[in-house]
Amino acid sequence: MVGSKKDLDSLKELERLADTAGAEVLKSLSLRLDRPTPSHFVGKGQAEEIARLVREEGADLVIFDMDLHPVQQRNLEEVLGVRVIDRTQLIMDIFAQHAHTEEGKLEVELAQLKYLLPRLTGKGKELSDLGGGIGTRGPGEKKLEYDRRRIRERIKTLERKLEKVMKHRENLRRRRKKLGIPVIAVVGYTNAGKTTFINKLTHSQLVAGDKLFLTLDTRMRKLVFPSGKWVILVDTVGFIRRLPPQLLASFQATLQETLHSQALIHLIDPIPTKWLEMRDTVRRTLEEIGAGEKPVIEVVNKIDLLSLPERRRIERILPHAILVSSKTGEGMEEVKKRIEELLEEREKPWEYFITANFSGEREDNKVVFPQEHP
């Protein structure tokens, strides 16, 4: 794994991404680069150093923390004698593994094909021969057998299918709006604990784990207040530094749920040393997708892992944030109270009581709307 000495935290994050993708990290190398070279990104001596490590460690894959130009990627593979992928390809591979719904698979495939298209020059046969592995996976573990024309045709087909998905989602949103049901999207940096947080808050059993981008497919759960009023919480895809623009573009159908929510819960993981930078990354990403003006409740998670002085420091830095533990349940009642207060301030507060022609709950608090398939 190759990264920059200027950003060792990013290199550590790349190691976690590689582990999530199923790679065994044999060696990490941080390089000092004044400026990338047009041919190999790294200098000649640095390329030789990487090649030496590849031979010594018996590696069959090199992952760069930087985005590589197609020419740089091809030249590096010739020098190193093994496959080379960059951060974007790695993240896309993880998305391909974790997309389970038809919609998620469509979104991932669209992002991969848009990324692949400019990289086909001179690699047609190589790409056709690839049988799998990190950086080559797509929905269904397909081989990459497309030429440029077929890829463009497939991209158009995927875009048409996703347009239908977005229209279907829009119809569901209109139905929710007509019924007066508020929606709160839970956002945050990847692995902030959003799924576990929703499970604790709603007494649900969504699959959670200590992996990056474990949640890709939009999932909704019902949060009932003591008064009998209730809202829908949406579990969303996590954000990360330098999230590939192809993924942001392709995941518009999923991100629409964030855009059309009444408010956001921004869940923050205070354990990493640069958690404030991660917080800023989420805020910038929300602005990029057009959700920067949404009302936000900031919630700091995992406080059961913090010392009292660390808690006090966070309270000074984020005086309006709620400190919670998704493990112990501490702070969850305060979250519910804050949500109620926020929605009561809106022009059309609580118009929704559990009435008539709406089936809003199945087992495990899963929200199912009329004519919507589970």
Q: 77 and 186 in one domain?
A: no
Q: 298 and 184 in one domain?
A: yes
pLDDT of 297 higher than 70: yes
Distance between CA atoms of 339 and 297, rounded to whole angstroms? 8
In a domain, 157, yes or no: no
Tens of pLDDT, residue by residue over 55-69, are 999 999 999 998 898
Instruction: Put residue 240 in one of left, alpha, beta given phi > 0 → left and psi -120 to 50 → alpha.
Output: beta
Distance between CA atoms of 341 and 354, rounded to whole angstroms? 20
In a domain, 163, yes or no: no
Final residue of a domain: which of 44, 59, 90? 90
Q: 176 and 83 in one domain?
A: no
Residue 74 maps to which CATH number? Answer: 3.40.50.11060
DSSP 60-103: SEEEESSPPPHHHHHHHHHHHSSEEEEHHHHHHHHHHHH--SHH
Distance between CA atoms of 246 and 366, rounded to whole angstroms? 30
Q: 218 and 348 in one domain?
A: yes
Final residue of a domain: which of 69, 90, 111? 90
In a domain, 20, yes or no: yes
Task: Give me the domain span that covers residue 36.
Answer: 2-90
pLDDT at res. 129: 44
In a domain, 193, yes or no: yes
pLDDT of 32 higher than 90: no
Final residue of a domain: which of 35, 63, 90? 90
pLDDT of 94 higher than 80: yes
Q: 178 and 86 in one domain?
A: no
Q: 190 and 73 in one domain?
A: no
Q: For residues 44-63, give the mean pLDDT.
A: 92
Return the bridge partners of 186, or none: 235, 265
183: which DSSP letter? E
Distance between CA atoms of 84 and 38, rounded to whole angstroms? 16
CB of 268 within 8 A of CB of 116?
Answer: no
Residue spans of beta strands (DSSP E) within 258-295: 263-268
Q: 57 and 174 in one domain?
A: no
> pTM to 2 decimals?
0.75
Neighbour tally for 257: CB within 10 Å:
21
pLDDT at res. 357: 32
226, two tokens: 């003591």
Counted domains in the chain? 2
Q: 299 and 212 in one domain?
A: yes
In a domain, 114, yes or no: no
pLDDT at res. 148: 78
In a domain, 45, yes or no: yes
In a domain, 9, yes or no: yes
Tens of pLDDT, residue by residue over 106-147, are 888 888 888 888 776 544 444 444 445 565 555 433 444 457
Q: CA of 36: how far to CAs of 4, 5, 43, 63, 134, in Å?
A: 11, 14, 8, 16, 25
Q: What is the mean pLDDT of the chain?
A: 79
In a domain, 118, yes or no: no
Termini Cα distance of the chain: 40
Position 212 confidence tier, pLDDT thresholds 50, 70, 90? low
Distance between CA atoms of 105 and 99, rounded to whole angstroms? 5
Between these two residues, 169 and 192, which has the higher pLDDT value? Answer: 192
List phi, psi (to 5°) of 271.
-75, -45
Residue 222 maps to which CATH number? Answer: 3.40.50.300
Q: CA of 321: how far to CAs of 13, 316, 340, 347, 359, in Å?
A: 26, 10, 16, 24, 34
pLDDT at res. 98: 77
Distance between CA atoms of 212 and 30, rounded to whole angstroms? 22
Closest CA to 14 of 91, 125, 122, 120: 91
pLDDT at res. 134: 60
Tens of pLDDT, residue by residue over 223-280, are 988 878 888 898 887 788 877 777 776 666 667 778 888 899 999 999 988 899 999 9
- In percent, the amount of the chain with pLDDT more than 70 equals 78
Q: 75 and 183 in one domain?
A: no
pLDDT at res. 83: 92
Q: 237 and 347 in one domain?
A: yes
CB of 31 within 8 A of CB of 43?
Answer: no
Position 211 confidence tier, pLDDT thresholds 50, 70, 90? low
pLDDT at res. 55: 93
Give burial (CB, 10 Å; 0-12/13-18/19+) of 316: exposed
Closest CA to 64 of 104, 36, 22: 36
3 state DSSP class of 289: coil
Tens of pLDDT, residue by residue over 339-374, are 988 888 764 544 433 333 333 434 445 544 443 333
Position 3 confidence tier, pLDDT thresholds 50, 70, 90? low
**Number of helices followed by number of strands (H, E) in the chain:** 13, 10
pLDDT at res. 374: 34
Q: 191 and 288 in one domain?
A: yes
The residue type found at 116 is L
Distance between CA atoms of 326 and 320, rounded to whole angstroms? 19
pLDDT of 203 higher than 60: yes
pLDDT at res. 346: 63
Q: 192 and 46 in one domain?
A: no
